[in-house]
Amino acid sequence: MLLLARTTRLEDVSSPTEGLSLFYTDLDRNFVDVREIEKMGRKAVDSNEVFIDGLPIPAEDLIGEEGKGFRQILHGLNPERILVAGECIGIARNALARAAHYANERVIFDRPIGQNQGVQHPLAKAWARVESANLMVMHAAALYDAGEPCGVEANAAKLLAADAAVEATEAAQITFGGFGYAKEYHVERLVREALLFRIVPVTPQMLLSFIAEKALGLPMSY
């Protein structure tokens, strides 16, 4: 397992983020208790509580420079946000494609329901927001690939894409009417998956605080 651990006492460093080191070590079940967390969605990937008590870690399991583990972890945060934002775009596009197909096939009163503006407009609005969010995702990804600073863009991409995915999946579910609540049509699953990314890996409030500070020069609020 990848583990961040304090290797220098807190009183001996100038900042709480210093003195932390990164290790890649064995998950020894004699010292580690792993308990699965049942979740609303994301069934393909386990989430767990992990309790570590007295786990011995060999010095040779150290990754990178001792005491700089927190800075090493930070290097992975921007691509993580971009990746999650890309997942949101995929979920949203899938939901809208399912809804559009259903709206074209479902005929009520001798006309497809997709011919009604009350069905068209929420889906069209959601499509526009999804594709706009995707432009920010691609922009952030291009900056990262070029080795350029991309913190603001990565955070904005995650914020916009998560919101767009929630809106798109909800619009898709409503398009299906009562069937949108049935597992047979899959959109209920997409609704559950989209909701997760409003929360993880970082909440919208934290994203907004970061953008306010880094993009707009406002004082740190946390």
pTM to 2 decimal places = 0.90
With a cut of 90, say whether residue 222 has pLDDT above it.
no
> What b/e string do you get for 58-86 counting C-beta neighbours within 10 Å, with b at 16 or more?
eeeebeeeeeebbeeeeeeebeebbbbbb
Domains and their CATH numbers in the chain: 2-72 (no CATH), 76-216 (1.20.140.10)
- Give dist(CA 25, CA 31) in Å, integer: 12
Q: pLDDT at position 80, please? A: 97
pLDDT in tens, 1-59: 999 999 999 999 999 999 999 999 999 999 999 999 999 988 889 999 999 999 999 99
- Give dist(CA 87, CA 99) in Å, integer: 18
pLDDT in tens, 199-213: 999 999 999 999 999
